[in-house]
Amino acid sequence: MELIFTLTVVKICSYSKSGRSTLELPLCCMGSRLSHPLTRQPLNSSLFLTTLILGTCNILVTRTPSLQTSPPPPPPPHHPIKNLCLSFPQSDHNSCVGVTAEEPVDERKPTFLLPSEPSSSKMVLRGQVLEMECFAEGLPTPVISWAKVSGELPSTRASFLHHQKILRIVNVSEEDAGDYRCTAKNQLGSVHHTIQITVKAAPYWIGGAPRNLVLAPGENGVLMCRASGTPKPSIQWAMNGVPIENAPKDPSRKVEDDTIIFTDVQMGSSAVYQCNISNQHGYLLANAFVNVLSEPPRVLTPANTVYQVIKNHRALLECTSFGSPIPKITWFKESRFGTLDDETYKEHDNGTLEIRVAQPRNSGKYTCAARNSLGIYENHVHLEVKEPTRILKQPEYRMVQRGKSVVFECKVKHDPSLVPTMTWLKDDGELPDDERFVVDADSLTIADVMESDAGVYTCVMNTTLDHDSASAELTVVERPEPPTDLELTDHKKRSVQLTWIPGDEHNSPIEKFLIQYEDSLHHHRGHWHNLTEVAGTETTVHLKLSPYVHYTFRVLAVNAMGSSRPSFPSKMYKTEPSAPDENPTGVHGFGTEHDNLVISWKVIFYKVQEQMTLMSQGTILIL
């Protein structure tokens, strides 16, 4: 006997003599809501053996048909059983059923759970969303793939859901009809299912709804109501709300399916026509007016309109007209003694005259004449070709020290008949509302420049016809900030290594660092001497020192704007006294008296970097 149960896993439980406790089953067996056929086999009058597939886990379920809430009898010792608590939607009670773990099942080829037949079919309407499903089981879990039998899947409109179990196609068109094959495959084999898709369509316009007609007596015209759909839609015409077969006869009118042909219409042929296109999936309804008029030509463009255009640009002179029959438009320049046949001009079907590349010689008075069988109407317009607006002197890049002033120049040439307007922008936005910014006729001045003034400045010259613009960048610079964090390392008797961290260079690269020292042993404090210089890219220097000096170091950064303030002094570094590095030279002795000897030598100095100190007087008198 086969039954359908909808099972919801509530919790996992087990029973013992002492009571009930909660256990866990593998994750793949938890949290699933299932609707599967359960094969029940009677064991005795009250027990059933049921096989339930839960995801990729196979378990045996034993339950009693009664919905009692007391625990089931304990299982035999050699056959451990866990209990799975289930809720049944048709009952207010929960039931606990025994779950016996089996050995792993054998691998198997894929089979389809949904659809179960080898093929199926589906109908979808044009423009809707199509979803096709294929659910398969097998071990290992089969991989689902999709293909169109006689074509390619629409890559821009197709997508896959739920690990490719669902193929989704949006905005379906007639080209999507055909056979689709889904394949479930694992290492043991594969299985196929074919879905035949039929695309139907409610009626839709081909080339748009019918358009109104304005005809003069004796003219011909065509009214079309062209649409498509699947199945092919039917067309019904009506005139003034009455089916056309019941409407008054008109010898100038002939109906051919989706077209009404009018031949040699007369004044009484004016009417409102309706076309209704329908099939079993929908319909279209449209109205079109057929007016039979007899009107002499009129030009709707205002007389003496002045058109202005920039030299080398395109000019369009309009001549909008009305009349029945439709008037023919002819253009003249200055006089009517010749039409505009030059390649410079082009006359459009709507009556507009185009001058592709306007030149000053094209300026002047133009006449458009609208003519039909009932008369002629003339209208005059004027064309003025202007010189373009050009920036002759563009603003230039500026690098300015903070607190100084800067001027950007922007000199412009424009047509004298056009009124220019100069606008300045900063970083494509308005200038700051600050009195430090002064705009003159052809310049922008910024006083007391601050770091926030840095950016791109653009001058824009506008006229009523054209514009021109140019930009330049402002960089605000300043002397660098002093270096920080001076540190002495690699201490030796006559040398030490000094490192530091550079300060902000303020948009002007540091060119060099100047190292100075103070000798608190031999000089008063505050007396600093230059020791050495290093490139602006360095942050460390190895200093050679003199003996018996109490050194304190500081560093200054130098850029194009000048030197920074001195850094804070380093810690004091003392060198020990030592013997002279060399012996005296020029030693000689002589006597000035019979009882003396004078020994003399060249004076010796020792260096404390750039400072010289006397070491001896240079003469000894021995008596």
Phi, psi of 405 (to 5 degrees): -110, 155
Domain ranges within the chain, ordered by starting residue: 2-101, 108-201, 206-292, 295-386, 390-477, 484-574, 588-622
- What mean pLDDT do residues 449-467 have? 94
Q: What pLDDT score does 334 carry?
A: 83
Q: 185-235 pLDDT, tens per residue? A: 999 999 999 999 999 999 999 989 999 998 999 899 999 999 999 999 999
Give dist(CA 297, CA 368) in Å, integer. 12
Nearest Cα residue to 549 out of 577, 524, 529? 577
Residue 365 to residue 317: CA distance in whole angstroms: 11
CA distance 273 to 285: 11
User: Of 354, 411, 404, 406, which Cα lies nearest the Cα of 383?
Assistant: 354
Helix (H, G, I), strand (E, B) or coil at 362: helix
Is the fold of 206-292 the same as that of 484-574?
Answer: yes
Cβ(370)–Cβ(323) below 8 Å = yes
Q: Which residues contact 319 (CB under 8 A, 6 or more apart)?
A: 299, 301, 329, 331, 351, 352, 353, 368, 370, 379, 381
Number of H helices and E strands in the chain, helices first, is: 0, 57
% of the chain residues with pLDDT over 90: 65
Q: Rounded mean pLDDT of 332-341? A: 75
Give the confidence band of 344 by pLDDT, cuts at 50, 70, 90.
confident
Alpha carbon of residue 193 to chain centroid? 41
* Residue 593, amino acid: E
**pTM, full prediction:** 0.53
Pick the CATH number of 108-201 from 3.40.50.300, 3.40.50.10420, 3.30.200.20, 2.60.40.10: 2.60.40.10
Residue 210: strand, helix, or coil: coil
pLDDT recorded at residue 87:
40
Compute the distance between CA of residue 299 and CA of residue 282 in angstroms, rounded to an integer. 44
Give yes or no for residue 24 having a pLDDT over 90: no
The predicted structure's pLDDT at residue 159: 95
What does the alpha-carbon distance between residue 494 and residue 606 come to, in Å, rounded to a whole number?
14
107-128 mean pLDDT = 91
Is residue 425 within 8 Å of 431, Cβ to Cβ? yes
Q: How far apart are CA 52 and CA 86, in angstroms?
A: 13
Label the pairing between strands 429-430 and 166-169.
unpaired
CA distance 230 to 233: 7
User: Region 530-538: what's the mean pLDDT?
Assistant: 94
At 285 the pLDDT is 95
For the residues 289-313, what does the mean pLDDT come to? 94
Give the pLDDT confidence score for residue 38 in this predicted structure.
Answer: 40
User: What pLDDT score does 337 carry?
Assistant: 65
Residues 118-132 pLDDT 10s? 899 999 999 999 999
Region 253-273: mean pLDDT is 92
Q: Decide if 198 contacts 120 (C-beta within 8 A).
A: no
Domain spanning 206-292, CATH class: mainly beta
Fold of the 295-386 domain: Immunoglobulin-like (2.60.40)
How much is the average pLDDT of 485-490?
94
pLDDT at 150: 86
pLDDT value at residue 431: 94
Report the first-to-last Cα separation within the chain, whole angstroms. 143
Cβ atoms of residues 536 and 555 within 8 Å: no
In one-letter notation, the amino acid at residue 177 is A
* Rg over CA atoms, the chain: 51
Q: The CATH number of 484-574 is which of 2.60.40.10, 2.60.40.1180, 2.40.10.120, 3.40.50.720?
A: 2.60.40.10
Q: Which pLDDT score, from 0 to 100, does residue 27 have?
A: 33
- What pLDDT sits at residue 91? 42
pLDDT of residue 22: 35
Tell me the mean pLDDT in the region 452-456. Answer: 95
6 vs 457: which has the higher pLDDT: 457
Range 390-477 has CATH code 3.40.718.10: no
pLDDT at 605 over 90: no
Residue 607 confidence class, pLDDT cut points 50, 70, 90: low
Cβ atoms < 10 Å from Cβ of 611: 15
Sequence-separated (6 or more) residues with CB below 8 Å from residue 133: 114, 115, 165, 166
- In sequence order, the 6+-apart residues with CB closer than 8 A to the CB of 437 are 424, 431, 444, 445, 446
By CB atoms closer than 10 A (0-12, 13-18, 19+), residue 336 is exposed
Mean pLDDT value across residues 358-379: 93
Are the beta carbons of 193 and 120 closer than 8 angstroms?
yes
Q: What is the 3-state secondary structure (H, E, C) of 524-585?
A: CCCCEEEEEEEECCCCEEEEECCCCCEEEEEEEEEECCEECCCCCCCCCEECCCCCCCCCCC
Q: Which of 202, 173, 379 is nearest to 281 (CA)?
A: 202
Long-range contact pairs involving 236-240 (C-beta distance under 8 Å, separation at least 24): 236/275, 236/276, 236/277, 236/278, 237/273, 237/274, 237/275, 237/276, 238/273, 238/274, 238/275, 238/276, 239/271, 239/272, 239/273, 239/274, 240/271, 240/272
Name the phi and psi angles at 7, rounded to 5: -115, 135
**CA angle, residues 250, 254, 257, in degrees to nearest 5:** 140
Tokens 């060399």 belong to 582
d(CA 480, CA 401): 11
Those residues whose C-beta lies under 8 Å from the C-beta of residue 327, and which sit 6 or more positions away, are: 297, 321, 370, 371, 372, 377
Q: What is the pLDDT of residues 32-72, one digit of tens each?
A: 333 333 434 343 333 333 334 333 333 434 333 333 334 44
Closest CA to 395 of 410, 373, 375: 410
